Amino acid sequence: MFNVWVNKQVEDNIKDKIENDLIIFNLFDKNNKSNVKTDAEQLWRRFGLQALSNISEDLLIIAISVFCADKRIPRKNPFDNWTRNIKLHVPVLELEKWSAVRRKLEKSLGFLSGDKWVLEFRKSNSKFRANKKNTKYKLINKKGFDSVSLFSGGLDSFCGAITILERGENTCFVGFREYNLLTSRQKELFDALDSAYPSLKKELVLFNVNPFAPLRKDREKAQLGTESSSRSRSFLFLAGAIAIASIFGDGTPVYIPENGFIGINVPLTDSRNGSCSTRTTHPIFLKSLNQILQEVGLNHQIQNFYWNRSKGQIVSEHKDKQVFRQNAHKTLSCSHPCLSRYDKIKPPCNCGYCYPCLIRRASFYAIGRDKTPYNQKYKLNGEFIQKYNNLQGKASDLKALLFSIRRYLKHRDNADYIRTLLLRQGALSHDELIEYERLYHQSMKELIEMIKQEDTKNGGGLLDYLGIEDREHAQIN
């Protein structure tokens, strides 16, 4: 069990009863006394406010705390190299409200990250970074906004922004400023949308949370290392978006546009139970989080209007729009867009071989064109698989995807088998199951077509790996 104590203010004290193996994150106003670098205060200072409402602040502090623990506690330590036991001690202003939903939130976070969470809330009377309301950025008038949407700079969120703006909604887009290079790309894509829809009110607000090494109880640095999976990052994105929605008023919706194939998160292999992608838009997580928000008094529904669409269907919807044609190739779907620098390619760059990139490539094959400048050092073929044939190598996602396709081709006519895969992560309603079954067939069709096209273009080997001699065997009627 990892015991994690979060301090919001300098005056917070660590009680003697807390276990000696405690690790500490300080969210103090003064960064030189804090081991968490964040500019989350921009979420309200951009609107000329000195602080958020108590309940909105609490949600943000909880999400920051979860993210810090997630990023700084490596998964290599647990027996299964994945599931961690984390006890998180968090200061909140609305203690009774959060205590009432504690078990539900623990379960929801457990589903999201794959860990076992225990939340210990304690009463705080101090507002977080409420010492001033000025900002170095231009102030935004909070009036006139209809919605808030996450904006990562990825293909789905870019298409989602087009969908929202096509509906005529005045929207504040919220993004996570993880790397400066990604930030520039997010701003470039937002500027393109701003030019394409000049009559609508829209803003882009970015924020960052970067936890450094936590402290031990003796105030020495805990030598734990870092964790790259960061499943909880999307919870932090949502908390930031809800913070802004709460400024606009009750009922303001929060959108998280993501294709349903990623959202349902079917495991690619029996040993990779969905660990390669997020569960953020899985209906189980969204339903549980929406219920928690309602119970604590945050009246904002999180919605994914792409939940029953494949990525190919999403890009097909926008393929003829000028803003899409001119900018879609600039979006970043890659799980490691800055690693291209090791191949002497200027980042950020879509690698082309990670799981999100493979789904991206399949979606563009669905519309017949892809101008994305992938890392051309790595071709999708049999040679690539052989050269990087190890568990964590560059070909691991491609190999897992090919296994998934082979499994699908074997069982595609067995509805019970397909539904069992869809239910692997948890229960679905009857209507959801029917829609996800249709979506799964559609998405697999797109992926198979991508594999066939890449196999032809890059010298073969992929269909051989699948055990397919006749290309027509991979056809789906």
Domain segments of the chain as ranges: 333-474
Residues 286, 288, 291: CA angle, nearest 5 degrees: 105
Average pLDDT over residues 461-474: 73
What pLDDT band is residue 273 in, cutting at 50, 70 and 90?
Answer: very low
**How confident is the model at residue 274, as a pLDDT?**
44
| Residue 272 pLDDT greater than 90, yes or no | no
Average pLDDT over residues 405-426: 95
**Which segments within 168-304 are labelled E, that is strand?**
171-176, 202-207, 209-211, 215-216, 254-255, 302-303
What is Dmax (Cα atoms) for the chain?
70
Start-to-end C-alpha separation, the chain: 51
- Cα 217 off chain centre by: 32
| Residue 476 pLDDT greater than 50, yes or no | no
Average pLDDT over residues 117-136: 92
Going from the C-alpha of 21 to that of each of 69, 76, 122, 216, 395, the distances in angstroms are: 14, 18, 19, 7, 39
Max mean pLDDT among 175-184, 410-419, 456-465, 466-475 falls in 410-419
**How confident is the model at residue 472, as a pLDDT?**
55
**How confident is the model at residue 9, as a pLDDT?**
79
For the chain, percent of residues with pLDDT exceeding 90: 77
What pLDDT band is residue 473 in, cutting at 50, 70 and 90?
Answer: low
Please report, as a single letter, which amino acid is at residue 120. E
Average pLDDT over residues 88-115: 97
Average pLDDT over residues 443-467: 94
| Residue 109 pLDDT greater than 60, yes or no | yes
| Residue 154 pLDDT greater than 70, yes or no | yes
**How confident is the model at residue 129, as a pLDDT?**
92
Of 243 and 376, the one with more pLDDT: 243
Radius of gyration of the chain (CA): 23
Tokens at residue 285, please? 């997580």
CA–CA gap between residue 328 and residue 316 (Å, rounded):
12
Q: Which of 76-90, 192-206, 283-297, 460-474 has the lowest mean pLDDT?
A: 460-474
The length of the chain is 477
Mean pLDDT of all residues in the chain?
92
Average pLDDT over residues 395-407: 94
What pLDDT band is residue 271 in, cutting at 50, 70 and 90?
Answer: low
Whether 202 contacts 172, CB under 8 Å: yes
